[in-house]
Amino acid sequence: MAKNLLLTGRPGIGKTTVIMRVLEALDIEATGFYTREMRGPRGRLGFEAVTLDGRRCTLAHVDFRSPHRVGKYGVDVKTFEETIVPSIDPALHPEAGLIVIDEIGKMECFSPRFREAVLKALDSNKPVLGTIAIRGNPFIEGLKGRPDVEIVKVTYANRDGLPAEIRGLLFSPASGSKEGK
């Protein structure tokens, strides 16, 4: 059983919702971040990243001018690195029993500091619960092939039961991790 669980699945399937339900059910100190869509009258405008302790930044937006682009979105790598990336560095959060990384995708991977922090988190003694793109660059594909990473595909059929299953996988006696503060 791998100590790091990364959820994958098509956009909008509920990966972030599964993570939030896992966090609600745990009695453990966690650090990290989640992402959410920013919507407006004309549809999706961008993506916001929010740390578990409430810091936030706009990761990508249709109005951003940036050399880093995914589709119609410009990505603000500098603000993401300053505001969000420290939340997944295990050395900065010794009290945390879990690191949440939602998401490891094209936008986030423009940041070299993010990629470095992801590797530190996965290599640490703390379990990681995150989401990862279905397909991606060599960095993303390399993470999926790590022996300490288990990939869990989120589907309409399994998403409601996944929070309880993930809690058991992350904090069972076999995993070596202990739930609690």
Segment 119-128, tens digit of pLDDT: 999 999 999 9
Rounded Cα distance, 136 and 52, in Å:
25
* pLDDT average, residue stretch 133-149: 96
Mean pLDDT estimate for the chain: 93
At 169, the pLDDT band (50, 70, 90 cuts) reads confident
CATH 3.40.50.300 for the 4-34+85-175 domain, yes or no: yes
Average pLDDT of the segment spanning 80-97: 97
Closest CA to 98 of 5, 162, 36, 173: 5
Q: What is the pLDDT of residue 178?
A: 45
Supply the pTM of this predicted model. Answer: 0.92
76-94 average pLDDT score? 98
